[in-house]
């Protein structure tokens, strides 16, 4: 049996792809902007109707029909969230203090370090 042609698309909104389209047991939820590999006819349909746009294959991961995250992506997302939480926590402390208070300089140093760590974890745009 010949392998059916597939195309990469990225949905403009969260969407659900019927199970029979992707050969799954249940419908699959797709996330906004995440590239997914779909049968060419269905991909052309959702692009034509304006639900999705043509996309390139993701650079790091294997093709995914489900739009799920790999363990590595989940770990990176957790690191990013922890770094953002730390920056938010330090900013909240900063709003409770005034320049010149005991610990102000130390807090500013910690905040600058946390912001640098966060910037290093964010993907390049």
Dump pLDDT digits (tens) for 24-36.
888 989 888 888 8
Query: What pTM was estimated for this model as a whole?
Result: 0.45
Query: Mean pLDDT in the chain?
Result: 83
Residue 57 near residue 45 (C-beta atoms within 8 A): no
Dump pLDDT digits (tens) for 97-109.
888 889 899 988 9
Centre a 10 Å sphere on the Cβ of residue 37 and count the other Cβ atoms it contains: 18
Interatomic CA distance for residues 63 and 74, integer angstroms: 17
Residue 66 has pLDDT above 60, yes or no: no
Annotated domain spans of the chain: 6-54, 71-121
């Amino acid at each position: 049996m010949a392998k059916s042609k597939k195309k990469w698309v990225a949905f403009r909104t969260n969407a659900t792809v019927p199970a029979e389209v992707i050969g799954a047991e249940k419908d699959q939820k797709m996330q906004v902007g995440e590239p997914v590999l779909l049968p060419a006819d269905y991909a052309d349909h959702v692009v034509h109707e304006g639900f999705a746009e043509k996309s390139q294959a993701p650079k790091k991961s294997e093709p995914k029909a489900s739009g799920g995250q790999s363990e590595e992506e989940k770990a990176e997302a957790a690191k990013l969230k922890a770094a953002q939480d730390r920056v938010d926590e330090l900013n909240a402390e900063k709003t409770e203090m005034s320049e010149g208070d005991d610990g102000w300089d130390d807090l500013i140093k910690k905040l600058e370090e946390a912001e640098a760590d966060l910037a290093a974890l964010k993907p390049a745009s």
